[in-house]
Structure 1
Amino acid sequence: MNLLLIRLIIFAVLFLAGLKLYRMYREWKLDREDALNVESQQEGGQMVRCAWCQVHVPESDALRDHGEWFCSSAHRDRFLQEQRPEE
Protein backbone atom coordinates (compact mmCIF):
# COMPACT_ATOMS: atom_id res chain seq x y z
CA MET A 1 0.00 0.00 0.00
CA ASN A 2 2.82 2.41 0.83
CA LEU A 3 4.53 1.72 -2.48
CA LEU A 4 1.34 2.59 -4.37
CA LEU A 5 1.05 5.89 -2.51
CA ILE A 6 4.69 6.78 -3.23
CA ARG A 7 4.21 6.02 -6.94
CA LEU A 8 1.09 8.17 -7.01
CA ILE A 9 2.93 11.09 -5.39
CA ILE A 10 5.87 10.74 -7.81
CA PHE A 11 3.48 10.62 -10.77
CA ALA A 12 1.64 13.74 -9.54
CA VAL A 13 4.94 15.64 -9.05
CA LEU A 14 6.16 14.66 -12.52
CA PHE A 15 2.83 15.61 -14.06
CA LEU A 16 2.82 19.04 -12.38
CA ALA A 17 6.46 19.64 -13.37
CA GLY A 18 5.67 18.75 -16.97
CA LEU A 19 2.65 21.04 -16.96
CA LYS A 20 4.77 23.89 -15.59
CA LEU A 21 7.43 23.33 -18.26
CA TYR A 22 4.79 23.28 -21.00
CA ARG A 23 3.33 26.58 -19.79
CA MET A 24 6.79 28.16 -19.67
CA TYR A 25 7.50 26.95 -23.23
CA ARG A 26 4.16 28.25 -24.51
CA GLU A 27 4.76 31.68 -22.92
CA TRP A 28 8.28 31.83 -24.38
CA LYS A 29 6.96 30.92 -27.83
CA LEU A 30 4.25 33.60 -27.70
CA ASP A 31 6.76 36.24 -26.57
CA ARG A 32 9.08 35.25 -29.41
CA GLU A 33 6.28 35.51 -31.99
CA ASP A 34 5.27 38.93 -30.65
CA ALA A 35 8.87 40.14 -30.91
CA LEU A 36 9.09 38.93 -34.51
CA ASN A 37 5.81 40.67 -35.38
CA VAL A 38 7.05 43.95 -33.88
CA GLU A 39 10.30 43.73 -35.85
CA SER A 40 8.48 43.04 -39.11
CA GLN A 41 6.14 45.99 -38.50
CA GLN A 42 9.05 48.29 -37.75
CA GLU A 43 10.83 47.32 -40.95
CA GLY A 44 7.66 48.50 -42.65
CA GLY A 45 7.91 50.40 -45.87
CA GLN A 46 9.40 53.43 -47.47
CA MET A 47 8.83 56.88 -45.98
CA VAL A 48 7.43 59.51 -48.35
CA ARG A 49 7.02 63.27 -47.99
CA CYS A 50 3.68 65.03 -48.12
CA ALA A 51 3.70 67.54 -51.00
CA TRP A 52 1.70 70.03 -48.92
CA CYS A 53 3.20 70.03 -45.40
CA GLN A 54 6.52 68.22 -46.08
CA VAL A 55 5.91 65.71 -43.26
CA HIS A 56 7.27 62.19 -43.79
CA VAL A 57 4.73 59.36 -43.49
CA PRO A 58 4.95 55.62 -44.26
CA GLU A 59 4.11 54.85 -47.86
CA SER A 60 1.43 52.43 -46.74
CA ASP A 61 -0.41 55.27 -44.91
CA ALA A 62 0.10 57.94 -47.56
CA LEU A 63 -2.18 58.91 -50.45
CA ARG A 64 -0.86 59.29 -53.98
CA ASP A 65 -2.43 61.55 -56.57
CA HIS A 66 -0.99 63.09 -59.78
CA GLY A 67 2.46 61.70 -58.95
CA GLU A 68 2.60 63.37 -55.53
CA TRP A 69 2.34 61.92 -52.01
CA PHE A 70 0.04 63.30 -49.31
CA CYS A 71 -0.43 62.57 -45.61
CA SER A 72 -4.20 63.15 -45.73
CA SER A 73 -7.02 63.77 -48.14
CA ALA A 74 -7.38 67.34 -46.84
CA HIS A 75 -3.78 68.13 -47.80
CA ARG A 76 -4.26 66.47 -51.17
CA ASP A 77 -7.35 68.59 -51.86
CA ARG A 78 -5.64 71.81 -50.77
CA PHE A 79 -2.55 71.05 -52.87
CA LEU A 80 -4.59 70.23 -55.99
CA GLN A 81 -6.78 73.28 -55.47
CA GLU A 82 -3.70 75.49 -55.29
CA GLN A 83 -2.21 73.94 -58.42
CA ARG A 84 -5.27 74.60 -60.57
CA PRO A 85 -5.39 78.00 -62.23
CA GLU A 86 -8.09 80.24 -60.83
CA GLU A 87 -11.02 80.61 -63.20
Structure 2
Amino acid sequence: MNLLLIRLIIFAVLFFAGLKLYSMYREWKLNRDNLVEGDSQPADSKMVLCSWCKVHVPEPDALREKGEWFCCSAHRDKYLEEKKDD
Protein backbone atom coordinates (compact mmCIF):
# COMPACT_ATOMS: atom_id res chain seq x y z
CA MET A 1 0.00 0.00 0.00
CA ASN A 2 2.82 2.42 0.87
CA LEU A 3 4.56 1.67 -2.42
CA LEU A 4 1.39 2.47 -4.36
CA LEU A 5 1.04 5.80 -2.56
CA ILE A 6 4.68 6.72 -3.29
CA ARG A 7 4.22 5.86 -6.97
CA LEU A 8 1.08 7.98 -7.12
CA ILE A 9 2.86 10.96 -5.56
CA ILE A 10 5.81 10.61 -7.96
CA PHE A 11 3.44 10.38 -10.91
CA ALA A 12 1.54 13.50 -9.77
CA VAL A 13 4.77 15.47 -9.32
CA LEU A 14 6.03 14.43 -12.76
CA PHE A 15 2.66 15.24 -14.33
CA PHE A 16 2.56 18.76 -12.88
CA ALA A 17 6.22 19.35 -13.74
CA GLY A 18 5.45 18.34 -17.34
CA LEU A 19 2.48 20.71 -17.45
CA LYS A 20 4.64 23.54 -16.13
CA LEU A 21 7.38 22.86 -18.70
CA TYR A 22 4.80 22.70 -21.50
CA SER A 23 3.26 26.03 -20.48
CA MET A 24 6.72 27.62 -20.29
CA TYR A 25 7.49 26.31 -23.79
CA ARG A 26 4.21 27.68 -25.20
CA GLU A 27 4.88 31.10 -23.64
CA TRP A 28 8.43 31.14 -25.04
CA LYS A 29 7.19 30.16 -28.49
CA LEU A 30 4.46 32.84 -28.48
CA ASN A 31 6.96 35.52 -27.41
CA ARG A 32 9.39 34.44 -30.12
CA ASP A 33 6.65 34.48 -32.77
CA ASN A 34 5.49 37.93 -31.64
CA LEU A 35 9.04 39.27 -31.91
CA VAL A 36 9.35 37.94 -35.46
CA GLU A 37 5.96 39.37 -36.45
CA GLY A 38 6.67 42.66 -34.65
CA ASP A 39 9.78 43.23 -36.74
CA SER A 40 7.89 44.96 -39.52
CA GLN A 41 10.76 47.21 -40.59
CA PRO A 42 11.93 46.36 -44.10
CA ALA A 43 15.43 44.93 -44.25
CA ASP A 44 16.55 47.68 -46.61
CA SER A 45 15.14 50.52 -44.47
CA LYS A 46 17.59 53.42 -44.40
CA MET A 47 18.84 54.58 -41.01
CA VAL A 48 19.24 58.30 -40.30
CA LEU A 49 21.07 60.08 -37.48
CA CYS A 50 19.21 62.27 -35.01
CA SER A 51 20.87 65.69 -35.07
CA TRP A 52 20.28 66.19 -31.34
CA CYS A 53 21.14 62.89 -29.61
CA LYS A 54 23.12 61.18 -32.43
CA VAL A 55 21.01 58.01 -32.28
CA HIS A 56 20.28 56.12 -35.49
CA VAL A 57 16.58 55.84 -36.31
CA PRO A 58 14.80 54.12 -39.24
CA GLU A 59 13.93 56.75 -41.81
CA PRO A 60 10.15 56.01 -41.77
CA ASP A 61 10.09 56.66 -37.99
CA ALA A 62 12.25 59.80 -38.08
CA LEU A 63 11.13 63.43 -38.33
CA ARG A 64 12.71 65.82 -40.82
CA GLU A 65 12.91 69.56 -40.37
CA LYS A 66 15.03 72.02 -42.36
CA GLY A 67 17.20 69.24 -43.82
CA GLU A 68 17.94 67.68 -40.40
CA TRP A 69 16.68 64.35 -39.03
CA PHE A 70 15.32 63.82 -35.52
CA CYS A 71 14.18 60.81 -33.50
CA CYS A 72 11.31 62.67 -31.80
CA SER A 73 9.60 66.03 -31.75
CA ALA A 74 11.17 67.00 -28.41
CA HIS A 75 14.67 66.66 -29.85
CA ARG A 76 13.62 68.57 -32.96
CA ASP A 77 12.30 71.43 -30.84
CA LYS A 78 15.43 71.53 -28.64
CA TYR A 79 17.72 71.52 -31.68
CA LEU A 80 15.80 74.29 -33.43
CA GLU A 81 15.73 76.41 -30.24
CA GLU A 82 19.47 75.99 -29.84
CA LYS A 83 20.02 76.80 -33.50
CA LYS A 84 17.83 79.94 -33.20
CA ASP A 85 19.91 81.23 -30.27
CA ASP A 86 23.15 80.98 -32.29
Q: What's the TM-score bracket when you normalise by the shorter of the two chains?
A: 0.5 to 0.7
| C-alpha RMSD over aligned residues | 2.7
Q: Which residue of 1 aligns with 2:31?
A: 30
Using the size of structure 1 for normalisation, the TM-score is: 0.52
Aligned-pair CA distance for 1:58: 2.4
Aligned residues: 57
In the alignment, does 2:4 pair up with 1:3?
Answer: yes
Aligned-pair CA distance for 1:59: 4.1
Kept in 2, the 8 Å contact 1:61–1:71? The answer is no
CA distance in 2, matches of 1:37, 1:15: 33
> Cα deviation per residue 1:9-35 (whole Å; 9 max; x = unaligned)?
000111111111111111000000111
CA distance in 2, matches of 1:71, 1:25: 45
Q: Which residue of 1 aligns with 2:19?
A: 18
> Cα deviation per residue 1:46-75 (whole Å; 9 max; x = unaligned)?
x8xxxxxxxxx724314256xxxx3437xx
CA distance in 1, matches of 2:60, 2:17: 50
Give 5+ residue unaligned stretches, structure 2: 47-57, 70-75, 81-86
Q: Which amino acid aligns with 2:4?
A: L
Identical-pair percentage: 11
Using the size of structure 2 for normalisation, the TM-score is: 0.52
